[in-house]
Amino acid sequence: MDAQTESEGGRQSGRLGGEPTLSAHGITKDFGVLRANDNVDFSIMPGEIHALLGENGAGKSTLVKILYGALQPTAGEIRWKSSPVVIPNPAAARRLGIGMVFQHFSLFDALTVAENIALALANAGAMGQLKERITKVSAEYGLPLNPDSIIADLSVGERQRVEIVRCLLQEPRLIIMDEPTSVLTPQEADDLFVTLKRLASEGCSVLYISHRLEEVRAICHHATILRHGKVVAECDPQQETAARLASLMVGAEVRELTPPEPVSETAPVRLSVKGLSNPKPHPFAVALDNISLEVRGGEIVSIAGVAGNGQDEFFDVLSGEARAAQGSIAIDGVDCRRSGVNARRRLNAAFVPEERLGHGAVPRFRLSENVVLTRHGTREGLVRSGVVNFAGGRAIVGRVTEAFDVRKGAPDPEASALSGGNLQKFVVGREYDRKPGVFVVSQPTWGVDAGAATTIRQALVDLARAGSAVLVISQDLDEILEISDRVAVISHGRLSTPRDAREITRAEIGLLMTGISGDGQGGKVAH
Amino acid sequence: MEALEGPLLTIITASTPLLLAALGELVAERSGVLNLGIEGMMAVGAVCGFAAGYVTGEPIAGVLAAIAAGMAMAAIFAVVTLVFVANQVASGLALTLFGLGLSALIGDAFVGVPGLGVTNIHIPVLSDIPLVGPVIFGLDPLTYLAIALAIGVSWLLFRTRAGLTLRAVGDNHVSAHALGYGVVRVRFIAVLFGGACAGLAGGYLSLVYTPQWTPNMTAGRGWIALALVVFAAWLPARLVIGALLFGAVSYLALYLQGRGVGIASQFLSMLPYLTTIIVLVLISRNQTLLRVNTPACLGQPFVPDR
Amino acid sequence: MAVLSPVIAIALTVFTGFFIFLAVGVDPFEALYVYFVEPLTQWWTVQELLVKAVPIILIAIGLSLCYRSNTWNIGAEGQLVAGAIAGSVFPVLVPEWNGPLVLPVMLLMGIAGGMLYAAIPALLKTRFGTNEILTSLMLVYVAQLFVDWLARGPWRNPEGHNFPDSRPFDGWQVLPVIVGDDVRINAIFVLIAVVVAWFVLKRTLTGFQISVLGQAPRAAAFAGFSQKRMVLLTFLISGGLAGLAGICEVAGPIGMLRTTVSPGYGFTAIIVAFLGRLNPVGILFAGLLLALSYMGGEGVQIALNISDQITRVFQGLLLFFVLTCDTFIFYRLRFVPARSAPRAAGEVSHGSA
């Protein structure tokens, strides 16, 4: 591994010059026995868009929280424009001139845009004045906002704008962005890049955390790569290939997926959805509008879409947790619109929801108990005359652990004790173990390390190859394009007509994300 | 005209303790804390207010003692639920039981003792106008305080930075914490305010309403106040209306009893409780209104992620 | 560890009690002895203790099922009264019926009465989404007023010299004694309830459902468990048990229907449920302890002239301490592994504990 470390005060070729806006020296952070950051050194120049790369769990979020004052380092020093500083809390960071746009927004749903922004500013001033400033600044940077909108009514992309404008109003010298494009359509991401370039040209630095290599290569001047809490490399991402960056991030050759096989036209339709519609289950939800879809045995169909466009509602209706008002659902030809979750499982369907803790698994339950959670009603002997057979659950845990390489410490720990990747492997493996004929999974590799992600995606491909119908709902376009046979887009509760994954382009997907008309084609929809 | 005076005065005075207690709870719930211990805080406020008033001979001492007692009880609850992050429902019940027992224990010495009473305000000329005079210008000082408090709370919540912070904490304590706001501190203050109001409400009962102390004199008003907060959708203006509504129900019960209508007194006494149930059912049918106005973090324990 | 928090809570309560007695002006050591120890020293007081413990434990078992599934039945006191009323219908209105069948019928009616009364807040919750805490509680006041009216009015004993009681129950209408002079057959009901509850919670799918619904409602929906059905089920069970406790009180120690049929057992049961950590065996012990607190209250009233309301003070304090200790021990120690930060930061320790 050739780690190119920067010499003290020196410059690398191609890097923007001057005194660093912010530099970190020997930053270490321990959580008990776990070392999240290990002797991290790096620096950010003025006007630089600096990428912080690393897979999930590499320590990026921890490092960034330290820079923002939300955490204190166990050891090490931070310097702001070459003077050592201590950043005890986010307010201090803001005073220095550091702004942060979190991955999980710190917004208040019931309050207006102006109120949300006021709460983040040290001296917000009069509300009337603040609203004017918001309107002005947001328009100036290409992120227009109405100060009186209520956050709950805004889309995810618009909410991110609020976070960004909130930062901009404090005239920062450094903006930290944590995985900003994970919730944006391709077009919205492009708009964001324009904004970032403008900021950089004004001398503001941007620390851009991401694991999306194409983006980083497109806009970043410099990249620091973290793995297992340590800096393993620094480079100019525009000079490197995506593959090289990926291998630096993961530390090994990235395992290639065995590609999915093309699907026969004569394969039976195993999951059939026709004209599915459902009103909003509650005021802040999304209504489903005339969704139709067919998934054949042996194929993987993916539904792309940015969060908040009806994915949750669609999943709940597919799994049986919610009943659709209109339309039909059939599994292997059997109408199951009126059936509950377990009846659908008995038809050999399996489901993996987006949220693993709290929905897919009970955090304080053991893994064996979590097996019983979804498999008590499938007539496989886990429940006899009302009495639960936990030993059977433990046996299944053993099988799944083997098959999916679940690292869990104890033989049967609580679900909350597992890491994100391992828990997801367990949750997917628990359903995979039943050899389901229809498999519906939402955000299969969200927040999961690269190794686990590959294992999970391989399982989906294998399942399809064995003849099952696999439906994947995902926000990760790279993943979708890697494993799918066909792709559809969900937007505002409508589903586009599925297209061949090898033919559709990102631009077309992006267009569909902005709106789908009644015939399943892209284009703005009046709503 | 004169005939309306009595009923209106009764309705207003019956609604005052409810309004006071519910206002305090509204503030606490807006910050995200569900305090079921209002009944206990009111009872302790009532007995301490009565005792202080009796011992010193000064009603103002009684009022202050009632407020202090309510705050002390609320402080216990705040420590248990905010510092030790215990279950709020169970803690509130504990507070009620503890408060009712404690107040009966303290009040043992004061049963049957004649109370002080607080004289109504008299503004020359204005208070003498028929009907309007006594009803608007001749009430007792605590009722005026309750009205002022309703206006004050409304202004605080929606027009000040402090109120915005409070609402933010109740909406999303994770975000508030991420932005650097002291969630525990804000909630602690809100809970103490709730206790002060509940104590004051209790003091009103024992100093003004029926100037004496009897065990169980709160008679479930603390619970009714909780229902009122839901009915008001956490908006002070609606709360005033709700309190008056319940005042009217109490008046109705008294009126029918006095009239000798053939219904047994026990059934008339049931009216406020049955009304509470009906009101709750009606308001919960409007899920949209509730969903939009309920503080999103109500009752959820806050554990900072350090 | 699970036993530790109630034990510490009890110790803290006794400790605080010391100062309360001091503040009230009595010798704290004597008072503590009279309160906590004396009731255990004589056979007849021990029997009294068991008599009080039985209804409390019975109700608390039912409540524990509710609380475990995040359903807050606070109206057990009202369901107790409803059961007492329902079970007393025959002895009061048809006093001549006095055969071996009358008691089982009374008990069944008592259970039914409690269940029906509990069904009200349950249905309001499942149909309208109305908060069950307030509705079940309001109904307590309603039930208490109703029994007051009955005892003073239409059900008053015509030969009773105007006392507000019904005709005393007689012969087969009375709950038989099985141990000593006072311990009656409802003690056996309690033991059965404890065993059945333990089995259901630990081994059956219903018990599993209750736990999932209480901890992770979305996961429960994902498992196909219905929150609404569980609300109904747990309310009916706890209402039935409270109703049974109610009719047993009336047909047993009291022997007639009175204006007040319970000194707050329905509320004490709430404390017992928490003190026993919602576990049937824990509830058994916690019930005995709280029955002791009732005895102690009566004792200090007689011996030291302290209001017996001190019992409620102790009970409230005990619940506070239990909740605090529980969280402190149970939650704080769990706090470390449950944090997301260490896991998000890296998977360094593969395979290690």
Whether the per-residue pLDDT at A185 is higher than 70: the answer is yes
* Whole-number pLDDT of residue A1: 35
Beta-sheet pairing, A75-80 with A83-85? antiparallel
pLDDT digits (tens, 9 = 90+) for A389-435: 999 999 999 999 999 999 888 899 999 989 888 999 999 999 999 99
| Separation in Å, CA of B78 to nearest CA in chain C | 11
Q: Which residue of A has its CA nearest to C213?
A: A362
| Separation in Å, CA of A50 to nearest CA in chain C | 20
Whether the per-residue pLDDT at C1 is higher than 70: the answer is no
* Whole-number pLDDT of residue C352: 27
Instruction: For residue A406, report the phi and psi dihedrals to the nearest 5 degrees.
Output: -85, 120
Which of B93, B264, B281 lies nearest to residue C149, judging by beta carbons?
B264
Judged by CB atoms closer than 8 Å, whether chains meet at A102 and B292 is answered as no
Give the span between the Cα atoms of A345 and A362, in whole angstroms. Answer: 19
Give the span between the Cα atoms of A37 and A28, in whole angstroms. Answer: 5
| Separation in Å, CA of B177 to nearest CA in chain A | 9
* Whole-number pLDDT of residue A148: 94
Q: What is the mean pLDDT of residues C328-343?
A: 39
For chain A, the domains span: 22-250, 271-361+422-514
| Separation in Å, CA of C90 to nearest CA in chain B | 23
Most confidently modeled range among A245-249, B118-122, C97-101? C97-101
Chain A residues with CB inside 8 Å of B291's CB? 282-284
**Percentage of residues of chain A with pLDDT beyond 90:** 55
- Weakest-pLDDT range from A176-190, A197-211, B38-52: A176-190
DSSP codes, C2-29: TTHHHHHHHHHHHHHHHHHHHHHTS-HH
Q: What is the mean pLDDT of residues A184-194?
A: 87
Judged by CB atoms closer than 8 Å, whether chains meet at C203 and A388 is answered as yes
Q: What is the mean pLDDT of residues A161-169?
A: 91
Using a CB–CB cutoff of 8 Å, tell me whether C1 touches chain A: no
For helices C227-249 and C102-128, angle between their N-to-C axes, nearest 10 degrees? 150
| Separation in Å, CA of B183 to nearest CA in chain A | 13
Whether the per-residue pLDDT at C336 is higher than 50: the answer is no
Whether the per-residue pLDDT at A39 is higher than 70: the answer is yes
Q: Which of C144, A95, C272 is nearest to B97 (CA)?
A: C272
C-alpha distance across the termini of chain A, in Å = 53
Chain A residues with CB inside 8 Å of B290's CB? none
Give the span between the Cα atoms of B204 and B16, in whole angstroms. Answer: 8
Give the span between the Cα atoms of A295 and A271, in whole angstroms. Answer: 5
* Whole-number pLDDT of residue B66: 96
Whether the per-residue pLDDT at B306 is higher than 50: the answer is no
| Separation in Å, CA of C246 to nearest CA in chain A | 30
For residue A440, give the H/E element and its range.
Answer: strand A438-442
Q: Which of C288, C270, C266 is nearest to C278 (CA)?
A: C270
- Domains of chain B and CATH, by start: 2-293 (1.10.3470)
Give the span between the Cα atoms of B208 and B212, in whole angstroms. Answer: 9
What is the CATH code for A22-250? 3.40.50.300
Chain A residues with CB inside 8 Å of C202's CB? none
**Residue B262, token pair as written in the block:** 């053939």
Q: Which of B200, B219, B206, B215 is nearest to B114 (CA)?
A: B206
* Whole-number pLDDT of residue A348: 94
Chain A to chain B Cβ contacts (< 8 Å): 54
Judged by CB atoms closer than 8 Å, whether chains meet at A376 and C212 is answered as no
* Whole-number pLDDT of residue B75: 97
Q: C312 with B101: CB under 8 angstroms?
A: yes
Beta-sheet pairing, A49-53 with A205-210? parallel
* Whole-number pLDDT of residue B4: 77
Q: C330 or A375: whose pLDDT is higher?
A: A375
pLDDT digits (tens, 9 = 90+) for B190-216: 999 999 999 999 999 999 888 888 888
Whether the per-residue pLDDT at C188 is higher than 70: the answer is yes
Band of residue C338 on the pLDDT scale cut at 50, 70, 90: very low
Band of residue C329 on the pLDDT scale cut at 50, 70, 90: low
For an interface test with A, give the residue of C343, C349, C352 to mutate (most A CBs within 10 A): C343
| Separation in Å, CA of C24 to nearest CA in chain A | 45
* Whole-number pLDDT of residue B179: 82
pLDDT digits (tens, 9 = 90+) for C311-324: 888 888 988 898 88
Judged by CB atoms closer than 8 Å, whether chains meet at B178 and A70 is answered as yes
Using a CB–CB cutoff of 8 Å, tell me whether C192 touches chain A: no
Beta-sheet pairing, A326-331 with A269-278? antiparallel
* Whole-number pLDDT of residue B163: 95
Which of C224, C341, C348 lies nearest to residue A62, judging by beta carbons?
C341
**Percentage of residues of chain C with pLDDT beyond 90:** 53
Q: What is the mean pLDDT of residues A169-190?
A: 88
**Residue A315, token pair as written in the block:** 């999943």
Domain A22-250 and domain A271-361+422-514 have a common topology: yes
**Residue C73, token pair as written in the block:** 């039945």
pTM above the 0.90 mark?
Answer: no
**Residue B135, token pair as written in the block:** 């009803």
Chain B residues whose C-beta sits inside 8 Å of any chain A C-beta:
161, 164-165, 167-168, 171-172, 174-176, 178-181, 287-288, 291-293, 295-296, 306
Using a CB–CB cutoff of 8 Å, tell me whether B249 touches chain C: no
Q: What is the mean pLDDT of residues A108-130?
A: 89
Whether the per-residue pLDDT at C240 is higher than 50: the answer is yes
Whether the per-residue pLDDT at A352 is higher than 90: the answer is yes
* Whole-number pLDDT of residue A270: 94
Question: What mean pLDDT is reported for chain B?
Answer: 89
Q: Produce one character per residue of B14-25: b if its CB has 16 or more CB atoms within 10 Å, e if not.
A: bbbbbbbbbbbb
Q: Which of B181, B170, B88, B128 is nearest to A109 (CA)?
A: B170
Give the span between the Cα atoms of B168 and B208, in whole angstroms. Answer: 37
**Residue C149, token pair as written in the block:** 């009216």
Q: A245 or C234: whose pLDDT is higher?
A: C234
Residue type, C52: K
Q: What is the mean pLDDT of residues C173-195?
A: 89
- Weakest-pLDDT range from B123-127, B261-265, C86-90, C349-353: C349-353
* Whole-number pLDDT of residue A252: 66
* Whole-number pLDDT of residue A255: 64
Judged by CB atoms closer than 8 Å, whether chains meet at A282 and B164 is answered as no
Chain-centroid distance of CA C154 in Å reads: 29
Band of residue A317 on the pLDDT scale cut at 50, 70, 90: very high
* Whole-number pLDDT of residue C333: 41
Using a CB–CB cutoff of 8 Å, tell me whether C344 touches chain A: yes
Chain B residues with CB inside 8 Å of A284's CB? 291
Residue type, C82: A
Band of residue A472 on the pLDDT scale cut at 50, 70, 90: very high
| Separation in Å, CA of A120 to nearest CA in chain B | 6
Q: What is the mean pLDDT of residues C270-295?
A: 92
Q: A273 with A473: CB under 8 angstroms?
A: no
With a CB cutoff of 8 Å and minimum separation 6, the contacts of C3 are none
Cα angle C157, C163, C166 (rounded to 5 degrees) comes to: 30
pLDDT digits (tens, 9 = 90+) for A323-336: 999 999 999 999 99
Judged by CB atoms closer than 8 Å, whether chains meet at C349 and A34 is answered as yes
For an interface test with A, give the residue of C70, C196, C204, C205 to mutate (most A CBs within 10 A): C205
Residue for token digits 């018990």? C207
Whether the per-residue pLDDT at C335 is higher than 50: the answer is no
* Whole-number pLDDT of residue A520: 65
Whether the per-residue pLDDT at C337 is higher than 80: the answer is no
Using a CB–CB cutoff of 8 Å, tell me whether B267 touches chain C: yes
| Helices within chain B (DSSP H only) | 2-30, 38-56, 59-78, 88-107, 132, 141-159, 161-171, 173-178, 183-204, 221-231, 236-259, 265-284, 287-293
Q: Which of residues 220-239 of C touch A (CB under 8 A)?
A: 221-224
Q: What is the mean pLDDT of residues A46-61?
A: 86
pLDDT digits (tens, 9 = 90+) for C123-177: 999 999 898 999 999 999 999 999 999 998 888 888 877 788 888 887 778 888 8
Give the span between the Cα atoms of A52 and B273, in whole angstroms. Answer: 61
Whether the per-residue pLDDT at C341 is higher than 50: the answer is no
For an interface test with A, give the residue of B31, B157, B164 to mutate (most A CBs within 10 A): B164
Question: What mean pLDDT is reported for chain A?
Answer: 87
Whether the per-residue pLDDT at C349 is higher than 80: the answer is no
Give the span between the Cα atoms of B135 and A510, in whole angstroms. Answer: 66
For an interface test with B, give the residue of C138, C155, C332 to mutate (most B CBs within 10 A): C138
For an interface test with B, give the residue of C73, C137, C305 to mutate (most B CBs within 10 A): C137
Chains contacting B with at least 3 CB pairs below 8 Å?
A, C
Q: Within a 10 A sphere around the Cβ of C268, how many other Cβ atoms?
A: 28
pLDDT digits (tens, 9 = 90+) for C24-76: 888 889 888 888 888 889 888 899 999 999 999 999 999 999 999 999 999 99
Q: A357 with A344: CB under 8 angstroms?
A: no
Give the span between the Cα atoms of C201 and C280, in whole angstroms. Answer: 9
For an interface test with B, give the residue of A108, A113, A176 to mutate (most B CBs within 10 A): A108
Whether the per-residue pLDDT at A246 is higher than 90: the answer is no
Band of residue C217 on the pLDDT scale cut at 50, 70, 90: very high
Judged by CB atoms closer than 8 Å, whether chains meet at A283 and B292 is answered as yes
The CATH fold assigned to C52-306 is: ABC transporter involved in vitamin B12 uptake, BtuC (1.10.3470)
| Separation in Å, CA of C8 to nearest CA in chain A | 24
In this structure, CATH architecture of domain A271-361+422-514: 3-Layer(aba) Sandwich (3.40)
**Residue C235, token pair as written in the block:** 């309310």
Using a CB–CB cutoff of 8 Å, tell me whether C100 touches chain A: no
Q: Within a 10 A sphere around the Cβ of C146, how many other Cβ atoms?
A: 19
Q: A36 with C341: CB under 8 angstroms?
A: yes
Which of A359, A369, A421 lies nearest to residue C222, judging by beta carbons?
A359
Could you give the ipTM of this predicted complex?
0.86
Which of B97, B266, B273 lies nearest to residue C148, judging by beta carbons?
B266
Chains contacting C with at least 3 CB pairs below 8 Å?
A, B
Which of A36, A321, A376 lies nearest to residue C345, judging by beta carbons?
A36
* Whole-number pLDDT of residue B37: 95
| Separation in Å, CA of C174 to nearest CA in chain B | 29
